[in-house]
Structure 1
């Protein structure tokens, strides 16, 4: 069995949080720019990286952008998110997540990581209430790049190093809930499990090219794929 790198998305795949991320992002912009909280009105965060969201927000407000400002707003967002999550108890772990992670962890020559658009600090803040963050030994994060495929590629390279293998010697399995997850996974040559636990329906995930589409990670076929069947 070939070494396998598992890259799990967070929002909509492992967990769902109501509006904490959006609230924290709007607050960061309001505190810095004095905006009224409407910067991201009618703006979908689904499948986007945090860095791309911040850049889009800055361009909406100022018409231009620079990297130092992106870094500043990302840091402000991460601080606001931690505070917002302390007050927001409306989040849940999706069905099948615990079993899926356990199977991936026990897979011989397997490496369990994250492939997420979240900043690393945001990923930790979101997963810590469930005791999940420390289970992921590596990852690719939204603080590193705006392009999801690049994030996944870097995550896969880190997983390969952890296994002591070249990236080309490993299979990569991306688990996500949006068309962007599907497209980015295929862009790096990975297999993809797509789950309809986020804002997209199964038919939309299939249209993006997903072959393995399930209602959630509790489907018995998901377990079979994770086992290597």
Structure 2
């Protein structure tokens, strides 16, 4: 019963609780799940850099391919590497016990991470790894201090150092909201800073889609429901007048 209560508590907690855990100011992220090119690039980045440790086991390859406009043969050739069938769930072959020994905890499934953590949190998190020789993997993170995850995107971004000293909660100007400090790039990656920001945007955009694949369909159906209710309002109002005309 205790476990169920804890799970319920986490389910109803607002995203802002998680987003504010370090006090670091988050950058705003505006998702666009209608942009198939962005989602396709995000899926590519996820497959190349995230899928080795993380799963999205509540998705199916076939559904993702259809939603993102990817032919099934290309999906099997470029995304499915473990012999899974096109209709299988997007699981992960990493052994949980081995992962605990390597990272201190098994990497979580990422299907719903954009709903749990929030897109702003993810976008800022993936861009704020910095060099920290005290940590086991040589890096730390401003949004998630002392995180056990290595900087898997360092090949793309390069390595940066934190040029800010002091309380992270004071890293924006109280009046303008501008950042008072940031990072200095000490080792270049294969992408420019602008290209890396775009790659991270696409990756987070894909994870936003993964958390709610029906988002566009829900919005489309919602418009038809509102239109139906608007049309229904007219006969409902006339019927009400007919029933109540003799009351007064």
TM-score, normalization: structure 1?
0.23
**Larger Rg, first or second structure (1 or 2):** 2
Instruction: Give the TM-score normalised by structure 2.
Output: 0.22
